[in-house]
Structure formats: structure tokens, C-alpha cells
Amino acid sequence: MPVKVVVGAQWGDEGKGKIVDILSQTADIAARYQGGANAGHTVIIAGQKYVLHLVPSGILNKNTVCVIGNGVVLDPAALFDEIKMLDKMGISIEGRLLISHRTHLIMPYHKMLDKAKESSATEMTIGTTGRGIGPAYVDKTNRAGIRIVDLLDRESLRQKLTENIKQKNQILQKIYGSAELDAEAIIQEYSTYAKLLGPFIKDTSLFLNEAIRDGKNIIAEGAQGTLLDLDFGTYPYVTSSNPISGGACTGLGIGPTKINHVMGVIKAYTTRVGKGPFPTEFDRVTDEKFRQLGNEFGATTGRPRRCGWFDAVLARFAVQVNGIDSWALTKLDVLDTLDEIKICTGYKLNGKEISTFPAALNEIENVEPVLESFPGWKLNTSSARRKEDLPENARKYLAAIEEITATPVAILSVGSKREETILISP
């Protein structure tokens, strides 16, 4: 059962793209199981920067087949822009990209609704990317979604889109005062996608289960992070799907008994984008310092990320809900110049110490982090290729994270380049 699930263990942006790229070098298949084009996975190989949004970062390894599973919501226009980008950069996808015929599609009205809601003065905003992800998942749950398989029946597609657009026009006009959508133009646009997507469409659940039976090595890749999970994240400041490891089963059509390892990707500190509680967030000056040190700007939107100390309460919660077996810890090098480094080992709420991550938003907003200090190492770590090459204080910091989270570090990233990686264990 050679299936390894790679999950973000914080609020996303942990460096999953690089980790999946590394693991894919020995993988037959890399499969994406949820999210949409709001994900931004950055990989740097031989000085060349690749930013991927929908295609799994395993595509950068020529022997890896990539799968976009049914749990993803797919924007065809964004997908083909990405394919063109890869082609220009010399990355061939021929015979190496498969898309589930059950994958739901993002429509123009999803993007319009997303942007209208986020810019509304009368509705609560959560800081989405405006790419239509949430509204697409709403339609999926409301049984009004358009799936790739619907593209294959033009008359059925016309009927579904006509009804959907009629309803969405009423919402856009009466609630948000937006212009009416041209139903015929959208029908024509998406009818052309049927031919373009044709070579990629497959029953990927069957494909993956046959690959598992044949002993293929599979990486299942999530987008975003655990604390953005629809059920277990800092609700309502969350994404619209399940990035946790359980989402790999529903998002790919494989049973939980087929998964044999869950790897959590986690930064040596903590970041989040958008609104929502953040217990270990820095003050404004330190926040800006870390943002510049770590180049903490969103790969998809360019938005500045909020930064804070490593949160072990959050990390232990991620281990709990994902069943994490090992860590891939990233951006250790960002801490190289610091005199002192801190880890949040617990929270205080109303003067009492708690060690669990609260569910209530007002409690998360009001906790006081309990911080433990560690001496910095004041040496460059980016050239280290073995754990033994690291400064002693860096090794002590890693040991503290392993002990507090009761989870070993298997992969350590000390820079953005592929080669700036320490493989501690398989």
C-alpha cells in the first residue's frame, strides 16, 4: 500500500510544493485531492522558479504521472494557462496529466459571486482569493454543480447552465447590483473545453486503485493547510474543502486502508494569509522583519503573509486530526540570523493554561501563547546537507520541536532550491 499523503500542518503556505517535488522523484504518481487554483506551490530547480496552482508539482519530474482528483474544483482557463506556462518552460505533460471525470468546474459566475461577496459592505468577508473556489463548492454541495462529465453531453450542459445562470443572474443583480451574465457566451466557452479536456479525462479512482494494486508509489497532495480545513480549521476563516489527510480518500476515491504514511509539512515558524485568529502573531515590526527574511508573500496572490513563532499547540492538533507520522520542516534557514527563537508550548485562556487547540473562535482570539525561548545559532544553514552539518543550537531547536509534537522530522528544508534539503529518514 505505497500511498503517502502530504498535508499542510498550519494555515497553508508551508512549502508543500517543494516537498512533493522531492518525494515525486521516487514516485510513479502524484495526485491532488482538493482545492482549486487558489493554491500556489512554488518549486525552484536549477535557478528556475515554477509556480503551480492546479497541476501537482510532481509534473516537474518527467517520470511521474499527475492526477487531478474529483475533490478539486477546476477552472479550465487557469488549467490551460498553466499547461502553456509549463510548455514554454520545457515541461511536457503529454500522457502525464489525468483529470477525474467527476471533477467539478469553476464557472464565470462563481468568480463573480466570490468577488462580489468579498467586496460587499454588508457581508462578512474572510479574505478569499476571489477565484470562485467557495461558490463552486457551494454549488457542489447544493447539487447544482457542473462536472467535467457534463461537458460530454452538450444538450445536458446547455440545460444545466441555462438554469444555473438564470438563478445566479438574479443573485448578482438583486443583491450585488452586478451586470447580467451572457448565458450563451458561457455555454459556447465551456462547450469548447469538452474537446480541450478530452485527452486528460479519466476514471482516476479506478486508475489509482489499479496502481495501488500493482504496487506503484503514490503521493497524494493537498492544498492549503489543516487550520484552513472546513471542519477542523479556524471556522469561518477557512477554505471550502478538507485539506486534512481524510480528504485524500474522498477527493481521490481511494479507501483509508490504502494509505500507509501521512507527512505533515510545517514551517520552522508560523504564517497565515487573510483574516482570522493567529495566537503567536508577531508585533508589526517583527512581522515585517520575518516577511522580508522569509519572502512571505502569497505565490498565488502576492498578498503579504502574517508571521509568528512556531506554534506547537497547533502542530499537535494537526498531528491529531491528520494522523501525521513525520514532519517535513521547511524554512529553517530563515531563522539563521536571530539571537533568540521561541516556541509556543501552550495557551493561557482566562488565566488558566490549556494545551489543546480551541474550537470556539472567540477563545482562539483571546488565548495568550506560552512561549519557551531557545538561543539562536547565528550561522548559515543553507549549505547543510546532513543533520550533522547543522549548528548545535539548530539541532537543539529541531529536537525540541520533535519532542513537543511527539513527531520526528524526516525532511528538512534549508532553502528554496531543490538541493537545499536534508533527507533525515525515508
Report the catalytic residues: 13, 41
| Sign for the pseudo-dihedral over CA of 360, 364, 367, 371 | positive
Nearest CA among 395, 418, 313 for reference residue 355: 313
**Measured between alpha carbons, how far is residue 248 from residues 222, 223, 322, 323, 367 in Å?**
7, 11, 11, 13, 32
DSSP H helical ranges for 74-132: 76-88, 108-119
Q: Which H or E element spans position 291?
A: helix 284-293
**Long-range residue pairs from 213-218, CB within 8 A, at least 24 positions apart, any chain:** 215/2, 216/2, 216/28, 216/29, 217/2, 217/26, 217/27, 217/28, 217/29, 218/2, 218/3, 218/4, 218/27, 218/28, 218/29, 218/30, 218/31
DSSP H helical ranges for 25-100: 76-88
Count Cβ atoms below 10 Å from residue 72 Cβ, excluding itself: 29
Query: Can you name the residues that pair with 370 across neighbouring β-strands?
Result: 346
The C-alpha cell at 241 is 474543502
| Sign for the pseudo-dihedral over CA of 228, 231, 234, 238 | positive
Find cell 522530522 and name the residue. 409
349-386 as b/e, with b when 16 or more CB fall inside 10 Å? eeeeeeeebbeeeeebeebebbeeebebbeeebeebee
